Structure 1
Amino acid sequence: MRNRPHRSLLCDVMVLGLAKALMTMRKGERARVLVQPEYAFGKMGCAPRIPGNATILYEVELLHFVDAEDALELEGICVDGGPMPFPKLLELCAAKHKTGNSFCERKEFQNALKCYSSALHRLENARTKDAGEETKQQQLLLKLFCNASLCCVHTGRGSMAVAYAKKALLIDPNNVKALYRCGVGLKMQGCFDEAEGRLRRAHRLDPNSQAIIRELNELNSIKRQLRETETNMCRRMFNYANNDKAAEAMKALSLNSGVSEEMQAIIKESLRKLKGGTAGSSLPFTTGFTDSHYDYVRSVCQNLGLGCEDLPKGGVRAFVRDAE
């Protein structure tokens, strides 16, 4: 445990003298605790490190503490064995929220997420007796969902960040924090167009937020790089039809976005050149292209008066029709 945080129930602390000292300490307090043998390891000691009848000096800092009874009640174990009244449940969930915030301040996002999700598990399904209780429930749920989404962003869980943020938006569709974290989570998943929509909506509600502006700028940069990469790969594919690695990479880049404007221009240019060729000339679109590309090729061929047929092993072939 030297120089490392350690978490334990007070009743599980093996050294009685240390446990008694901890009971007198406040959060953030540091202390040196001198423990006599009868309150430590006694006559036998703890071989090989601690000899018998040893007086031990502990240096300890109390980083944080929670009420264990409240923690048990939050899991549904009530003191009297009956159902927990909503005001008591709300109080316990608010305490969990506060504890989670303390972890967040120390950037312990995994521990914070445990606090928020524990409170959400109980509060989300709690029964309220009137509109006043329901309002309080929704207010706290909104905070918990937003903070849980934040923790998921910081721990690299994009899909969970989006799920929590969307639940917050069901309570308050114009909550800027929820919109922002939903956008960040979607960006983490590669859903760039949807992420941009959420972030732009957040920006309209809070145009001065530097965090939102930074995310939008970063997102625009990513999308621009993807378009440039897609365009370059497409050009190489037309020149090197057997370059499978480039084709597969282009396919991966195209899956989420359909057919970009640059890609449309390249396909149109290639088909227009084909139209100027002799009857029977053809241009296949196979490895690396997606269904969206194939649909677009069919549409352009129809407009240009070119023929277009599906290929047995996948893809399409554009061709110049015989003169009638």
Structure 2
Amino acid sequence: MASPAPAWEELMGGNIRKRTLRPSSGAAPEVQDHVCASFSLRVARPKGGDGGEGFDVEADGPVLQRKERVWYKIGEGEAVPVLELALRHMRVGEELEAYGISRFAWGPDGLPAIREGDADLPGDADVLLTVELHEIKAETASVAEARLFEAGWRKRNGNDYYRHRDLRRAARAFAAALKLFTEPLPDDAIPEELRERYGAEATQLLVDCGSNLAAVQVALKNWPAARDAAVGVLEVDPSHVKALYRAGTAAMHLHDFAGATLAVKTALAADPDNAAVRRLARDLKARKAEYAEKKKAMGKRLGRDMLSIDSSSEAAAAPAATEAGAGGEGGGGAAAEADAVGDGPAADEGEVAAAEPAKAAPSVEDERAALGMYTLVGVALVATIAAFLYCHFGLDGGGGGGGGGAAEDYLASMRTMNQ
């Protein structure tokens, strides 16, 4: 007779539950420990009424996906809550099932399949995980080795998140890997025999994670962050084509056409047949043409506004001249001239106007004052349009900068821009 299935243990008020399939007396992880686990994923169908006594879960279909030997850091929340909480309650060598409602799993986005033989986890699905905890990373005496190890698994996780289109988790993973190298190491942290290997591996991780972070930010359309990440890579490897491509893409969307053009030229000098860079060059040409048309239209509008200002100046001077004529010899007055064209004021209004004292023609000083006022209005209008163009269409919309396409020249221009 088969033994009864173990009971479910409630976690998070029953929104997450676990039951042990294979117990173990191995070590239990603590917060900040690095743990390695594998898990399989299925859609869950709860049964047993109100979720109290007698509650059970069955798999609604086959295993959709399986992840092998994935590393996490306990307490960071990088894993989805149902997996994170399961790992916190496990021992090395233990195998368990974990149930979680959609909100504590992959939510409305689900988890797209990325490997052959896998299937998509649909959005808003409750999940049933089968989890095995393999090991807890032992402390190492070498800080340098620990950094390389952690940066390596964070890079792998970031790549996996990116392929699943979980862009925000991918960005966090790559950024966390890069952050490991921001703190200086003690002088004696790297044994002499490891210095060359550490330098090479650390450099490669910096370049890979920085370039991948730039790709994530491009996908998120976070253009300033994409440019910053790409420029960080170019500080290490000025001829990195993918970083140049991503820096150029970000610069184009930020309407820094000079920087984008220089990035494209530099990338094509390193890899003339790169299809993505050549496509960016075509997109950049179209964007620059579009910008030029908008700038031209804005110039025409500015010209019309200035003509309108000039017309207002002439209209302001005309009544004074007419009123002066109304008080002169043989003058028919403003009312008579207006009546002749059929759209003047009524007779009583004309009479009031004719009775007013004559006004002298504007003096040279008055004309200069008026011209000064209109000049100030024009300057303010030009400044407003310039600010609008700067904010919405970039700097000057010019073509490629100097430097002959050298990677160092592009990097120097980016440094200057970011100062």
| Distance verdict in 2 for CA 1:14–1:163, change over 3 Å | same
Tell me if the contact between 1:192 and 1:223 (Cα under 8 Å) persists in the aligned partners.
Answer: yes
Distance 1:14 1:234 in 2: 63
- How far off its partner does 1:26 sit? 5.1
Task: Name the aligned partner's letter for residue 106 of structure 1.
Answer: H
- How far off its partner does 1:258 sit? 3.8
Establish whether residue 98 from structure 1 lines up as the match of residue 100 from structure 2. no
SS of the aligned residue for 1:197 comes to helix
Task: Name the aligned partner's letter for residue 388 of structure 2.
Answer: A
Task: Name the aligned partner's letter for residue 187 of structure 1.
Answer: M
Q: Which residue of 1 aligns with 2:181?
A: 123
Establish whether residue 193 from structure 1 lines up as the match of residue 275 from structure 2. no
Tell me if the contact between 2:154 and 2:177 (Cα under 8 Å) persists in the aligned partners.
Answer: yes
Q: Deviation per CA, 1:4-33: give whole Å up to 9, x if none.
A: xxxxxxx8784223x649x9x955554779
Q: Which residue of 1 aligns with 2:216?
A: 151
- How far off its partner does 1:249 sit? 5.0
Task: Name the aligned partner's letter for residue 119 of structure 1.
Answer: A
Q: Which runs of 5+ in 2 are unaligned?
A: 1-10, 25-36, 79-135, 310-377, 400-419
Q: Deviation per CA, 1:156-202: give whole Å up to 9, x if none.
A: 21111111111111111101011111111112222111111111211
Tell me if the contact between 2:256 and 2:397 (Cα under 8 Å) persists in the aligned partners.
Answer: no
Higher Cα radius of gyration: 2
SS of the aligned residue for 2:150 comes to helix
- Please identify, of 173-182 and 200-209, the stretch whose mean Cα deviation from structure 2 is larger: 200-209
Q: How does 1:128-147 map onto structure 2 within 5 Å?
A: 129=190, 130-147=195-212
Task: Name the aligned partner's letter for residue 50 of structure 1.
Answer: G
Task: Name the aligned partner's letter for residue 190 of structure 1.
Answer: H
Q: How does 1:251-262 map onto structure 2 within 5 Å?
A: 252-253=388-389, 256-258=394-396
RMSD: 3.9
Q: Which residue of 2 aligns with 1:226?
A: 291
Q: Which residue of 1 aligns with 2:53?
A: 52
Distance 1:169 1:176 in 2: 9
Identity of aligned residues (%): 17
| Distance verdict in 2 for CA 1:217–1:71, change over 3 Å | farther
Aligned pair partner of 1:15 in 14, 17, 34: 17
Q: Which runs of 5+ in 1 are unaligned?
A: 1-10, 36-44, 262-324
- How far off its partner does 1:62 sit? 5.2
Q: Which residue of 2 aligns with 1:108?
A: 166
Higher strand share: 2
Q: Which residue of 2 aligns with 1:240?
A: 305
Distance 2:265 2:72 in 1: 44
TM-score (normalised: structure 2): 0.47
| Distance verdict in 2 for CA 1:235–1:177, change over 3 Å | same
Higher relative contact order (CA closer than 8 Å, sequence separation 6+): 2
